[in-house]
């Protein structure tokens, strides 16, 4: 802890520090000498093209390497989504992914082919990644977004021969412009014009501007002149911030802004062969012991060398407050207090009291939490967070949110900063790029398990988190396209051990949808056939979404039973009878093929019934269509179409029993008692005569009911008598049959007051029956 300020260097009001991020894992024979290097911002990957093209992570782990066989590469660059751009002399831009797989290429236009490219720059703007090129004819060509390629040739620059002495791409007022220097003259090139500009207060000793740098946010501009002066100002060239004489007149190799958001200090890092200069209002020099490359970041500069990878940045004010020697800031006191507390020293209380007296405990906690975010060493982070948590104990209503989310953020950051992952993000960068993008980057690096872990840890809604990662994983799987069936099998049936439970049904569902859109239908169906779970899911999907596809699917499988069902279902949606009948006919054919005799026959019957109903509706003006056979018969019987009913009864081989029931109820409903009596006598009733009794009673006609009581079989006599309310008769019948159960039934219907005599008789009969 005591040495935390050891690497701090004061520069005007502020301090700068250089933190080692990684010892590089690559083994480069000559360091970065004679290499064409490009490193992506936000701790992105590093590309390197010599005869061999190599891609490394920020910690120097090799991700791809292959011999370069295309034309000479003049410039490398990274897109916003971590693709590598290789720009060749003739203006051809080749795009590779992180793992060196070729994605596509495009050309920067004929003019570049003819005149060859002199210099190129890759730049990022809200519109995406762009490429700017200056050709041998001193003309600029610009593509603002390589994913939506529109080439723009910028106007001629008066008096420019060959390449300008230095240039940069700016994004201002939603326009992309080129700022260039030709000797001491400065021009802004936009779509239509070339305007000479003068930076306010530029030292008059300068004869030529030899280097320029635009800040990460396009807000600031730095110019370096041959007189060794560094001019810093706003990118719109309206204000000057400061000017420094570096006393170095050699043109620098690289110059980048190094400024953290909201800092008051303008500062630029300038690199020569062996010297690194941080220049703000004052300057600080570092010596470089190896060939290095500077990478501008939102809140600092990364310096990548042959053996080391470092971060140079202004020390954030929270850290200054806490760690500055002899600081009395609340955070510093709290840290001290906690240290003493750990030592079980009473001084802890003294420090705490001091903070509390100034009532700045809240501020102290806030400072510690914030500072923890800026520290790279987990040990330092922990110390600060523990101090914050200690301070929180003495506050009653301090919101827990900032503390909790900082702990979470740091856990994630430490995980991705790990050597094996190699994404050295700072907390500021992480917040700017968002978790979503970080997850995307991990996915792009094929670090699926880590991405999933992070999503789970941060409780990202499954849909945006885990499921999304899995989708990418599956897509990557498909794209490799080796043996599709072999690979997909385990995913779909979920036997892949590591990823199984995450491969859940709804995910499979999205997989299926994805595949459906990507593959031709035949292949798709064939694929599904071997995956029962996926297949049934797809069926469900089709049932709701695509009826016709469902049919094709059944066809493919020769699933005639389901095809039959499909037609039957379709027939119910059809309003026109002819169409309905033809669908049903298709169903019959399918059922026959499926050897489902019953279904085929039943469907034929249905068609027969529909035709019959239509005929009768037409002839007699009935409204039978759509009724069931039973309902049709009932309607016919109640409307006195006995002949037609008889015909249906025979044609459909309606069982006698049911027909009798039907006719009986229909007659009762019509109160056609005469016809009923005739019917009862027509032949022996297959349902017996109890139903006659009951149906009459139901129609409240006990008189008619009585007529049938005598015809009822002995077993049903009691029931029949009870139905018409004849207790005496019921008792008689029950006693005759000597049935204990029946006697009890009758007994239960007797009232103790009015049927006393009967009760006694029954009780006596019951006791004899039970003795037997």
For binding to other proteins (CB under 8 A), which residues are involved?
461-463, 467, 497, 500-502, 504-506, 509-510, 513, 532-533, 536-537, 539-541, 544-545, 565, 568-569, 572-573, 598-599, 602-603, 605-606, 609, 627-631, 652, 654-655, 657-658, 661-662, 665, 687, 691, 697-698, 722-723, 725, 748-749, 751
| 601, 602, 608, 614 alpha-carbon torsion, rounded to 10° | -160
Cβ neighbourhood burial of 572 (10 Å; 0-12, 13-18, 19+): exposed
Q: Which residue has the tokens 């008059």?
A: 204
Residue 661 C-beta: closest distance to other proteins, Å: 4
| b/e per residue 488-518 (b: at least 16 CB within 10 A) | bbebbbbeeeebeebbeeebbeebbeebbee
Residue 402 C-beta: closest distance to other proteins, Å: 17
Q: Which is nearer to other proteins, 568 or 709 (CB)?
A: 568
576: how many CB neighbours lie within 10 A of its CB?
A: 8
Give the separation between CA 258 and CA 295, rounded to whole angstroms.
Answer: 10
Residue 62 C-beta: closest distance to other proteins, Å: 30
Give the separation between CA 245 and CA 243, rounded to whole angstroms.
Answer: 7
Q: Which is nearer to other proteins, 358 or 505 (CB)?
A: 505
Give the separation between CA 424 and CA 430, rounded to whole angstroms.
Answer: 10
Q: Which is nearer to other proteins, 572 or 703 (CB)?
A: 572
Tokens of 381: 């982070």
**HEC string for 82-116:** CCEEEEECCCEEEEECCCCCEEEEEECCHHHHHHC
The answer for residues whose C-beta is within 8 angstroms of residue 463's C-beta and 6 or more apart is none
Residue 652 C-beta: closest distance to other proteins, Å: 7
Q: Which is nearer to other proteins, 384 or 666 (CB)?
A: 666
Q: Which is nearer to other proteins, 301 or 616 (CB)?
A: 616
Residue 495 C-beta: closest distance to other proteins, Å: 10
C-alpha to C-alpha distances, 64 to 33, 57, 139, 411, nearest whole angstrom: 20, 10, 35, 29
Q: What is the enclosing helix (H) or strand (E) of 336?
A: helix 330-342
Residue 485 C-beta: closest distance to other proteins, Å: 20
Q: Which is nearer to other proteins, 212 or 765 (CB)?
A: 765
Closest CA to 502 of 475, 463, 466: 466
Give the separation between CA 637 and CA 632, rounded to whole angstroms.
Answer: 9
Residue 554 C-beta: closest distance to other proteins, Å: 14
Q: Which is nearer to other proteins, 540 or 640 (CB)?
A: 540
Query: Residue 109: left if φ>0, alpha if ψ -120 to 50, beta else—which one?
Result: left
Q: Which is nearer to other proteins, 45 or 691 (CB)?
A: 691
Query: Residue 393: left if φ>0, alpha if ψ -120 to 50, beta else—which one?
Result: alpha
Q: Which is nearer to other proteins, 30 or 631 (CB)?
A: 631
Q: Which is nearer to other proteins, 262 or 459 (CB)?
A: 459
Residue 123 C-beta: closest distance to other proteins, Å: 29
Task: Decide if 743 contacts 765 (C-beta within 8 A).
Answer: yes
Residue 390 C-beta: closest distance to other proteins, Å: 24
Q: Which is nearer to other proteins, 368 or 610 (CB)?
A: 610
Tokens of 343: 């030592």
Residue 106 C-beta: closest distance to other proteins, Å: 30
Residue 568 C-beta: closest distance to other proteins, Å: 6
Q: Which is nearer to other proteins, 162 or 532 (CB)?
A: 532
Reported in sequence order, the residue ranges of 97-208 that DSSP labels E, i.e. its strands, are: 102-107, 117-125, 128-135, 140-143, 151-153, 166-172, 175-182, 185-189, 194-197
Q: Which is nearer to other proteins, 115 or 582 (CB)?
A: 582
Phi/psi at 419 (nearest 5 deg)?
-50, -40
Residue 126 C-beta: closest distance to other proteins, Å: 19
| b/e per residue 5-28 (b: at least 16 CB within 10 A) | beebbebbebbbbbbebbebbbeb
Give the separation between CA 79 and CA 130, rounded to whole angstroms.
Answer: 8
Residue 666 C-beta: closest distance to other proteins, Å: 12
Q: Which is nearer to other proteins, 253 or 504 (CB)?
A: 504
**HEC string for 706-744:** HHHHCCCCHHHHHHHHHHCCCHHHHHHHHHHHCCHHHHH
Residue 750 C-beta: closest distance to other proteins, Å: 8
DSSP of 215-231? -TTS-EEEEEETTSEEE
């Amino acid at each position: 802890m005591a040495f935390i300020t050891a690497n701090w260097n004061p520069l005007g009001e502020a301090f700068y520090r250089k933190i080692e991020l990684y010892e590089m894992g690559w083994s480069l024979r000559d360091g970065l000498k004679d290499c064409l290097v490009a490193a992506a911002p936000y701790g992105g990957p590093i590309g390197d093209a010599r005869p061999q093209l190599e891609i490394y992570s920020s910690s120097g782990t090799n991700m791809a390497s292959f011999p370069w066989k295309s034309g000479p590469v003049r410039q490398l660059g990274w897109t916003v989504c971590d693709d590598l751009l290789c720009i060749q002399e003739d203006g051809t831009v080749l795009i590779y992914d992180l793992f060196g797989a070729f994605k596509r290429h495009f050309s920067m236009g004929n003019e570049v082919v003819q005149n060859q490219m002199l210099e190129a720059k890759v730049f990022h703007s809200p519109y995406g990644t762009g490429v700017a090129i200056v050709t041998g004819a001193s003309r600029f060509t610009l593509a603002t977004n390589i994913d939506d390629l529109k080439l723009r040739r910028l106007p001629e620059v008066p008096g420019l021969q060959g390449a300008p002495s230095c240039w940069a791409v700016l994004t201002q007022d939603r326009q992309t412009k080129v700022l260039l220097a030709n000797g001491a003259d400065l021009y802004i090139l936009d779509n239509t014009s070339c305007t000479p500009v003068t930076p306010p207060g530029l030292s008059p000793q300068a004869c030529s501007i030899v280097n320029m740098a635009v800040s990460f946010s396009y807000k600031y501009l730095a110019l370096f002149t041959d007189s060794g002066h560094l001019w810093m100002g706003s990118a719109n060239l309206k204000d000057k911030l400061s000017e420094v004489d570096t006393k170095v007149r050699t043109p620098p190799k690289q110059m980048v802004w190094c400024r953290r958001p909201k800092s008051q200090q303008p500062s630029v890092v300038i690199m020569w062969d062996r010297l690194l200069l941080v220049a703000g209002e004052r300057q600080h020099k570092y010596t470089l012991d190896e060939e290095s490359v500077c990478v501008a970041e939102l809140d600092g500069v990364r310096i990548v060398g042959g053996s080391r990878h470092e971060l140079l940045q202004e020390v954030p004010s929270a850290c200054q407050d806490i760690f500055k020697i002899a600081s009395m800031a609340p955070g510093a006191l709290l840290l001290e207090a906690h240290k003493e507390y750990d030592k079980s020293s009473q001084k802890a209380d003294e420090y705490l009291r001091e903070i509390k007296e100034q009532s700045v405990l809240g501020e102290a906690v806030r400072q510690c939490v914030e500072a923890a975010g800026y520290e790279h060493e987990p040990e330092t982070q922990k110390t600060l967070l523990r101090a914050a948590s200690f301070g929180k104990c003495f506050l009653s209503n301090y919101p827990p949110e900032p503390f909790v989310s900082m702990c979470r953020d740091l856990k994630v950051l430490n995980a991705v900063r790990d050597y094996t992952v190699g994404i050295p993000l700072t907390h500021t960068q992480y917040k700017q790029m968002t978790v979503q993008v970080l997850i995307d980057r991990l996915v792009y690096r094929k670090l699926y398990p880590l991405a999933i872990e992070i999503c789970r840890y941060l409780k990202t809604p499954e849909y945006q988190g885990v499921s999304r990662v899995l989708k990418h994983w599956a897509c990557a799987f498909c794209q490799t396209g080796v043996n599709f069936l072999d690979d997909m099998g385990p995913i779909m049936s979920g036997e892949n051990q590591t990823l199984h439970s995450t491969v859940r049904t709804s995910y499979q569902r999205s997989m299926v949808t994805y595949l459906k859109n990507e593959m031709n239908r035949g292949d798709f169906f064939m694929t599904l056939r071997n995956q029962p779970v996926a297949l049934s899911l797809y069926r469900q999907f089709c049932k709701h979404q695509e009826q016709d596809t469902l049919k094709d699917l059944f066809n493919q499988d020769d699933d005639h039973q389901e095809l039959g069902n499909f037609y039957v279902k379709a027939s119910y949606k059809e309003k026109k009878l002819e169409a309905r009948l033809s669908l049903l006919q298709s169903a019959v054919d399918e059922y026959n093929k499926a050897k489902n005799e019953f279904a085929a026959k039943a469907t034929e019957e249905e068609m027969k019934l529909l035709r019959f109903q239509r005929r009768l509706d037409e002839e007699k003006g009935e409204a039978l269509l759509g009724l069931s056979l039973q309902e049709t018969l009932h309607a016919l019987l109640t409307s006195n179409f006995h002949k037609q009913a008889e015909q249906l009864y025979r044609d459909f081989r309606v069982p006698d029993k049911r027909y009798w029931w039907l006719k009986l109820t229909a007659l009762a409903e019509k109160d056609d008692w005469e016809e009923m009596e005739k019917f009862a006598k027509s032949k022996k009733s297959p349902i017996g005569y109890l139903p006659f009794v009951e149906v009459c009673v139901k129609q409240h006609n006990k008189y008619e009911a009585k007529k049938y009581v005598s015809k009822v079989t002995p077993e049903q006599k009691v029931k029949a008598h009870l139905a018409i309310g004849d207790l005496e008769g019921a008792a008689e019948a029950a006693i005759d049959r000597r049935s204990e159960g029946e006697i009890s039934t009758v007994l239960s219907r007797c009232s103790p007051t009015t049927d006393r005599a009967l009760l006694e008789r029954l009780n006596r009969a019951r006791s004899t029956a039970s003795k037997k």
